[in-house]
Amino acid sequence: MSKTLIKGNSAIVRGALLGGATHFFGYPITPASEIAHGAAELFTKTGRVFLQAESETSAINMIYGAAAAGARVMTASSGPGLSLMLEGVSYLAGCELPSVIVDVQRAGPGLGNIWPEQSDYNTCCKGGGHGAFKNIVLTPASGQEMTDFAYKAFDLADKWRMTVIIMSDAYIGQMMEPVGFPTEVKHGARKDWAVYGDAESRNNLVSSIIMNQKGLADLNAKLQAKYRKAEAELQDWEEIMTDDADYILVAIGITARIAATAMRMMREEGLKVGLFRPKAVWPFPSARLLELAGKVKGMGVAELNDGMMADDVERSVMGKCPVDRFNWFGGYVPSAEEVVEKVREAING
């Protein structure tokens, strides 16, 4: 497979097209704008549909309509834009409509700035809108994974009839790296529940308006059973040097890249530090972290927020080892040396 030097934001458009995306509805926002720009060019060139909406609220409702009609749909945004989409994301869950959303995270709250943060974690992983629902949340740490995750996201969305969020960050989106692309183009199959405007789908109805208590309770019970099944099947992670580790760093996205360098620096000093990188944060790989917790003296969660993923790590390890929190805000991204210093302090403490 030959490789191309390309931005993560541009790579994800190609991965989505190869993965069978048919429609892109979106509104540009830094640091995700290249995704809309790339989709405007490549979706139209390949006979797919691109439409720039007048707002993120419009875009997510276009996603809803096209998904109900059986299309393989996607959009891309960043924190403020994602906030505007959340009502629509809840409607997608209520109707069990498959879709793909790319979130290239930026610093907040409010307008914040365009530098990286990972503070959309709770929004993406804990529902992201009203009602008791879940999204599948993938966390790429490279341009290659931006491609790979987009390539598989539409199959996941169709299989589970859920929204798949590819939760990236400004550095992963803007970094240029060599990326290899799949050679097979995927295509979605006809969906027996979708509304195609033909005789075969005439009796299909896509709606989450259920006005009686029992009907809505039954829908929620069905959704929760599906989420439990997905939780058991979709956990995904990477481990580096955890076999003999005394201390494990847990990180995602750009922070995981920095933590990997910090881990190698500490290994050279004789400190047995490993790295655990969730590739999906919903479902969260709790069972594996619990196993590792019984073998190490501690874990440290490095993230660009106030400890959102650390909450999940603490719940996972169930008190079997201490969990240290290494946090940075406002778009500030630490160096590997700063991570090493934090880990040293934690170990010595």
Give tens-digit pLDDT for 270-279. 999 999 999 9
Q: What is the pLDDT of residue 1?
A: 58
Burial state string for 300-320 with b = 16 or more CB within 10 A and e = fewer than 16: bbbbbbebbbbbbbbebbeeb
pLDDT class for 135, splitting at 50, 70, 90?
Answer: very high
CA 240 to chain centre: 21
Enumerate the CATH 3.40.50.970 domain ranges in the chain, comma separated: 3-233
pLDDT class for 310, splitting at 50, 70, 90?
Answer: very high
Which amino acid makes up residue 3?
A: K
Are 169 and 118 in contact by the 8 Å Cβ rule? The answer is yes
Taking only the tens place, the pLDDT of each residue in 160-217 is 999 999 999 999 999 999 999 999 999 999 999 999 999 999 999 999 999 999 999 9
Enumerate the CATH 3.40.50.920 domain ranges in the chain, comma separated: 237-348
Q: What percent of the chain has pLDDT over 90?
A: 99
The CA-atom distances, in angstroms, between 207 and each of 20, 156, 194, 336 are 25, 21, 11, 49
- Which listed CATH number (3.30.910.20, 3.40.50.970, 3.30.70.270, 1.10.30.50) goes with 3-233? 3.40.50.970
**Which CATH code for domain 237-348?**
3.40.50.920
Flag whether the pTM goes above 0.95. Answer: yes
| CA-closest candidate to residue 57, choices 85, 82, 92 | 85
CA 303 to chain centre: 15
Residue with tokens 């309770």: 217
Task: Tell whether the model's pLDDT for residue 32 goes beyond 70.
Answer: yes
The phi, psi pair for 92, rounded to 5°, reads -60, -45
- Name, in order, each residue with C-beta under 8 angstroms of 233's C-beta and a sequence gap of 6 or more: none
